[in-house]
Structure 1
Amino acid sequence: MKLSILIPLYNKEKYIERCLESLLAQDLSPNDYEIIIVDDGSKDSGPLIAKNYTEKHANIRLIGQENQGPSAARNRCLEAAKGDYVYFLDADDYLVTYVLHTILELALQNELDILEFNTKQIVEGSIPEKSSQNHQDVSVKILDGMSYVSEHGFKNEAWRYIIKKKKLVATGIRFMEGTLFEDAIFTASIFLKANKLAKVNLDVHRYAVVENSIVTSKDPAHNLKFIHGMVTAVEHFHELIKGLDGSHVNYHKVVKQLKSRQQAFGLALIIRTIKYRLLSTEDFKKILMKLTMFEAYPINYRKGVVGSGMKRVFSKTIFIPFFNNKTFLLLVLKLLRLLPA
């Protein structure tokens, strides 16, 4: 088995068929890849739709579990995977058709630990389209993890790349359960451990922003978890920085990349706290102290968190000083909490 496509499923009855159809319309033999779906306690008809596919396609498997969150579902997928490479795909996303053969062959021929590819955001109701790209003569530049992060940076999402399963087994890296921002922690961790990492300029993945997703949800309990998840991510990035090889030629560039991401989390956390008024001033003060300890606060505009040009000037003179004034932030939160929700 060459490839395992791993899909956590939770209340995605509207999208799972589109996702699976895009995977079945690939240029791979069914003997070369498997699709493993872990139903994380869905309350809709998504698992039934998936089950119908398992009855028609021997390379699709459905595993059920009580609701434990997407990280637990992904880890369960990984435990069941038999492929040389694994790919974590969300049930509400899909792939362009006829692309996986090229992706997989590039990874296998170059013995890559990780191969990253391109993604596009799509509008609601889009359907899988056939690849219009020329797959001939595609080439990749192979780098170690720190050199790759230095040159390309990294995005948070795990659906941007395939990974050699043996690398995950050897490193013991898994998705952290019970928190949000697990993608960011997972991606940074595995990228920095990779010996052979590359990016190919091929259009492969489609990302849909859907109602009530993890990112768009306005549920107070979810947003509180979101805030604490960012604190966890900041802490883990701090540990990743401490564990870097200081003798690597790209050490300082990688530190800057990770610190920039840390500070972006810190800034997003502060904005969400003020916006949703979910923390007491005392709890917020404790979180700011944690961010300070992990060097994610005060926000440093030199870390590249706030763009360039006029936006940078505005941020440097007004935006960041506002967020770096702890006393003022606490006062604003205290006053906002007095207002009706």
Structure 2
Amino acid sequence: MLWSSFIAFALFAPSHALIRFGCSQLVVDRLDPLVNPGLAPSPHLHQIIGGNSFNTSMLPENHDPPTLSTCTTCQPSDDFSNYWTAALYFRAKNGTFKRVPQKGNSGFEGSNGGMTVYYMQNQLADYAQKAKVTAFKPGFRMLIGNPMANTKADANKYPQLTYTCLQDMGTRYPETKNFPTKPCPAGIMTNVRFPTCWDGKNLDSPDHISHMSYPASGNFESQGPCPSTHPVRMPQLMYEVIFETKAFNNKEDWPTDGSQPFVWSFGDGTGYGSHGDYVFGWKDDSLQKIMDEACYVNCKSMKTQTMAAMNACAVKNRVNEDIGDRDWIPEIPGAPALHLKAADGTV
């Protein structure tokens, strides 16, 4: 489905709660306060968006984003949550690397990198959006995906983590589990969809995943029921991250063995290790009010700020290192072991 068709339909569709908004880049840094709290540098590089209270250690007992943040890079001015994904690199034939920048999605072209965030009651194509959902609670956090995954079987444990090779900014299909194998004219989009069933008790878990679950049967899109162990239906949180590949689309710069040249900052060249992290930080009950409102994308109860204000919010890097934004670097920060796909498709 083309995004232009989605917008056209949305203008005339029944209005119920679904929000889509842009967020500018807060910082690109080797920090991960969810998985590696207090560790600087963390094992691999991330691009972070959201509230400027993001720091090395964000333990829930002493970190309340709406209280500690003074600005946010996200369009909703009440959203001080933090959202992050790994950084992406292009590997040249000589073995050097350069970071692939992010760019704004359709409607957010003026943003400084970042990503697009969705909160949905039902699947994106369901314009009714009538399902009742319980918004995330203060202190809630989660991740989805596994950076150690390097086979399709591993990746299939997380069925809603995919890639789209953008022919233009309206392309949304097909989706693949591995990196695109051909140059993508408008960039590579990673789609990160989180589980939607909560155990109703724990705001986090040791692996940051177990307190959440996929539906017991079917999936979120088919309105599958939540399992008895995780009975509380929550919004579908989704990221769209667009990597601007135009500087790396010359096929002559790609490997001659038929493999593709992109590598995640944790060393994965297959794409199967895609993952995303989330720390909730909406002010008061603002997210629940939006989810309870009859609205579609443009919700009256969602206070917004200008693109200039989003772009102006930033934090300084805690880790001082060359991440390959300007010059080619000999290795990815942290020097992770590379998991590259061979010409025959094996890992």
Shorter-chain TM-score: which interval? under 0.3
Which structure has the highest helix share of the two? Answer: 1
Compare CA radii of gyration and give the structure with the larger one: 1
